[in-house]
Amino acid sequence: MDYRFKILLVGENHSGKSSFLRRIIKNKFKLNYNNDDKIKIKKVTYLTNKGYVTLEFTDTIGELRKNEEYYSSNDSCIIFYNTLYKLKDNYVKKTKESVRARNGNIPFFFVGTCIDLEHKNLFNSMINTKYTIFYISSKSGDGVLYFLNYLIKTLTNDTEIMLNTRNI
Ligand SMILES: Nc1nc2c(ncn2[C@@H]2O[C@H](COP(=O)(O)OP(=O)(O)OP(=O)(O)O)[C@@H](O)[C@H]2O)c(=O)[nH]1
Ligand SMILES: [Mg+2]
């Protein structure tokens, strides 16, 4: 059986949304920052042990208001934040309200990026009992495959589905 899901990526400027996509689509990483000024739709199809899974991502830009027209008909939403900073409760609350108003009760995922960087806040930001956070580095690829498998298992509601790829 083949699957198709629409996934909304949100998160403040510099939170690592586009880098995550570059890693999972091209298996590449770029250190220089492109301040995205346009929303981009990117698709990727993976082979799994249960058929093909196509993920269609909407890569938004920092400001919530500019993105609102893209906020509907998604199957899931991923909230990104850079682990150099804290994931702000207020931001999560506002984003969830806005996304839920247009998509109903879709699953949310929290991704903390830049875990390859050494910084004193990382330990603190990992003690977060409110949300389950997936920690990744788009630079090294650490945590990315684990998160993708989890995402696909949740969306397909199939605990046995696994990506066939070794490229991530
Ligand atoms: N070291 C390291 N740098 C990262 C990682 N992820 C992203 N970056 C860097 O952080 C900066 C911002 O990443 P982007 O992926 O462009 O962030 P964004 O969320 O798409 O930002 P906007 O498009 O402005 O909303 C870039 O310079 C990336 O190279 C990571 O896991 N590790
Ligand atoms: Mg971007």
- The range of the structural domain enclosing residue 65 comes to 3-156
Q: Specify if 77 maps to a domain.
A: yes
Q: Specify if 132 maps to a domain.
A: yes
* Segment 62-79, tens digit of pLDDT: 766 666 777 789 999 999
How many Å from the N-terminal Cα to the C-terminal Cα in the chain?
23
Of all ligands present, the nearest one to the C-alpha of 119 is 1
pLDDT at site 37: 80
Q: Which of 108, 99, 113, 115 is nearest to 131 (CA)?
A: 108
What is the spatial distance between Cα 149 and Cα 142, in angstroms, rounded to a whole number?
13
Q: Specify if 34 maps to a domain.
A: yes
Q: Between residues 38 and 155, which one has the greater pLDDT?
A: 155
For a mutational test of ligand 1's pocket, the pick from 22, 29, 33, i.e. the residue with the most ligand atoms closer than 8 A to its C-beta, is: 33
Q: Specify if 165 maps to a domain.
A: no
Q: Specify if 167 maps to a domain.
A: no
- The model's pTM is 0.93
Q: Residues lining ligand 1, CB < 6 A?
A: 11, 13-19, 30-36, 61-62, 80, 113-114, 116-117, 137-139
Give the domain CATH number at 25. Answer: 3.40.50.300
E-only strand ranges, the chain:
3-11, 40-48, 51-59, 76-82, 108-113, 133-135
Total number of domains constituting the chain: 1
Of all ligands present, the nearest one to the C-alpha of 63 is 1
What is the spatial distance between Cα 70 and Cα 125, in angstroms, rounded to a whole number?
29
pLDDT band at 168 (very low <50, low <70, confident <90, very high): low
75 CA distance to ligand 1 centroid (A)?
A: 24
